Structure formats: C-alpha cells, structure tokens
Amino acid sequence: MALARNKMDAPPSSDASAPTVLQSRRSWSWYRFSEGITPYLLIAPLLILIAIFIYWPLIYSFYLSFFDWNFVRPDKTFVGWDNFTRLPNDPRFMRALHGTWIYFVALVPIQVFLPLGLAILLWPIRASRAQSAYRIMLFSPTVIAYSVAAVMWLWIFNPLQGILNKLLTGFGVERINWLSDRDTAIWAIIIVATWKTLGFHLLLYMAALEAVPNDYVEAASLDGASNWQIMRSIRFPLITPTFFFVLVTTVISVNDDVFGAINVLTNGGPFESTTNIIYYLYQQGFQYFQIGAASAVAVIVFLATALLTWLQFRFVERHVHYG
C-alpha cells in the first residue's frame, strides 16, 4: 500500500466506513461482522489486564479489609469493621499519618510551584545555547531509579564519612546525624524527593510555555503589556492545563513516590519519624502479614486519593483554561 506516502493527494471519501472495493473473497456480512468486533479485539488485551490487575484487586482489597488473615492460614476470619476501628488506636498508624501529612504539605508545593517558578525564571534565556544543557542536567535525576538515588544520598548523608558532614564540620558546624536523628530524617528524605522530581515538572512547564501561540503574546505586547503582565495574564492562563495536570498527579503520587527513599534511607525510622501511610501498609502486609489491616489501609488510601482528585476537579479545574 503506497498510499501512506502521498497521503494528502488522496481524494476525501464521502463514506469512510464502507469500502467500495473488496479485495478479499469474504462475503460482505462477514466483513461487516469482523469490522464490528475489531475495535473490541484491539482494546481487549488492555482491558482484560486492567480488569485482572487493577480493578479486581481494588474490589478484593475492600473484601479483605473485613477479614483477619495472615496469608498463610487457609481460612480467613470475618471481623467486620475491626481492621478500620483498630487503626486510630495503633500509635504506629498515627505516626504514619503524621508523616504522610508532613510529606504532603512539604512536597506538594515544592513539586508544583518550584518548577513553575523555575520555568518562568528560565523563560528569558530559553534561546541561549546553554539552555538545553541546563535542561539535560536538571532533568537527569528524574530518569534514574528512586532506590539508586537514595543510595547516592545515603553516601552523602553518611554521618562520619559523608561529604555533607565533612563540608559542615569544615565550616565549624557540628556533625549532624541526618538519617538517625528524628528531627532531620524526614527532611533528608524531602531533600532527596525534591532533587529527584524537580526536573520532570520543569520540563512539562517549559514545554507548555513554548506551546503558547505567539499571536496572543504579539497582540498583548503591541498593546504595551510588560513582560510580567504577559507572563501572568497570557502565558500562565494558557498553561493552566499543565499546571492542573501536575497538581493532580503530584497530590496522588507524592506519598507513593517517597517509598523507595524511605525503604533505602531509614526504613521508616528513627522512631517511625519518616514513615508514611504507604510504608505502613507495606509493613503491615509484607513484614507482619496482617493482610486485613493492610487492606483496610489500602481502602483508605484509595478513598482518600479519589476524594482529593474529585476535590481538585471540583474546585481547581474551573480555573483551568483549555485552549
């Protein structure tokens, strides 16, 4: 089929779905039938996998959350709402909740607004030759594994031999036990998370800024608008879809993302100061084999995520301008 090459020259068809020439010997009705089920065949692999590995586990988590089970025992014991009502009495759960909150309030602004500010800062020098070098460097932490990033930082944070403390003691500052002090450990993880994710959102914002049509900017600048006014009243409103996308995905994934860093750097310690609800679920399920408790937490995480997403669509999305 040579058509793919000179695609534009082909005459438009008045009836796209009915082929005028049938090359196969199959009957018309067979053709209609096979074409009718083709869409379903095309989406079937994806939908079957989604059903088995995303929707079914979701439903099964709800089911398991009402049972006491340790994964090994053949029978599950129905316990009603016990797995849920017990959670507030578990001090480890409450500390995990507190950690979740700290990660959330620290990292959502850092991951949503910092790269936006940076993208705006970089805008005036976008045409400079150094620009793509900057972009490559700033984006590089995004492409490596969280666990590898955490290992790199484990070495930097090392209390005795780590370069950070060597630098600090060089300036006469006392040595800090970054990862074993309950006041600093969570901030060490937040530093790693910031370092790790800054570049991706920066890239999205920069791409969005570049996609803003020039005619709007031209019109405004002819009207005497200043740089800042153009950024605020034209460019920013036009990149709000990207802003919204970044906001929603960050809110969903921020606590999920730090899991690797927590597991490598602190294992949730010291004194559970760096744990969060995701890490708590992991420990309940895979260290203590409390399948019911882990599932109850899974249900809570899912409902909280759904609620947060709904709230954002309800209250933030109305300010989004879809170009």
Partner 1 sequence: MASRSETTPTGMDFGRAGSVSEQESSGAAMRSGLGKVVIHLVVIVLCFLTIFPFFWMVSTSFKQADEVFTKSIHLFPSSPTLKNFPNAFTYFPVANWMWNSFGIAVLTTLGKVLISVPAAFAFSRLKFRGDKLLFAMVLATMIVPGIVTVVPNYILVSRLGWLDSWVAVIIPSLPATAFYVFLLRQSILTLPQDLLDAGRIDGASTIKLLWQIVMPNVRPAIAVVVILSFLGAWNQYLWPLLVLNDFKAKTLATGMQFFTANTEAAQMWGPMMATATIAALPPLLLYALAQKQIISTFVTSGIKG
Residues pairing with 67 in the sheet: 78
Q: How far is the CB of 183 from partner 1 (least distance, A)?
A: 22
Q: Which of 94, 189, 222, 198 is nearest to 139 (CA)?
A: 198
* 121 near partner 1, judged by CB under 8 A: yes
* 128 near partner 1, judged by CB under 8 A: yes
How far is residue 44's CA from residue 52's CA, in Å, rounded to a whole number?
A: 12
For partner 1, give the closer residue by CB, 105 or 219.
219
Q: How far is the CB of 222 from partner 1 (least distance, A)?
A: 8
* 72 near partner 1, judged by CB under 8 A: no
For partner 1, give the closer residue by CB, 105 or 145.
145
Single residue of 159, 263, 269, 316 touching partner 1 by CB under 8 A = 263
Q: Write the binding mask 191 to 230 for partner 1: x where contact by CB under 8 A, - elsewhere.
A: ----x--xx---xx-xxx-xx--x--xx--xx---xx--x
* 177 near partner 1, judged by CB under 8 A: no
Cα 142-148-151 angle, rounded to 5 deg: 125
* 258 near partner 1, judged by CB under 8 A: no
For partner 1 (CB under 8 A), the number of binding residues is 124
Q: Which of 56, 122, 138, 116 is nearest to 246 (CA)?
A: 116
For partner 1, give the closer residue by CB, 81 or 313.
313
* 144 near partner 1, judged by CB under 8 A: yes
- Which residues, 84 to 113, sit near partner 1 by CB under 8 A? none
Single residue of 29, 46, 75, 80 touching partner 1 by CB under 8 A = 46
Give CA 49 to chain center in angstroms: 21
Query: What φ, ψ does residue 69 adopt, rounded to 5°?
Result: -155, 145
Amino acid at 244: F
Q: How far is the CB of 298 from partner 1 (least distance, A)?
A: 5
Is the N-terminal amide bond of 57 cis, ω within 30° of 0?
no
Single residue of 159, 237, 241, 270 touching partner 1 by CB under 8 A = 241
Q: How far is the CB of 257 from partner 1 (least distance, A)?
A: 10
How far is residue 158's CA from residue 178's CA, in Å, rounded to a whole number?
A: 8
Q: Which of 291, 107, 279 is nearest to 193 (CA)?
A: 107
* 167 near partner 1, judged by CB under 8 A: yes
Please return the burial class of 225, using the count of CB atoms within 10 Å of its CB with bins 0-12, 13-18 and 19+: middle
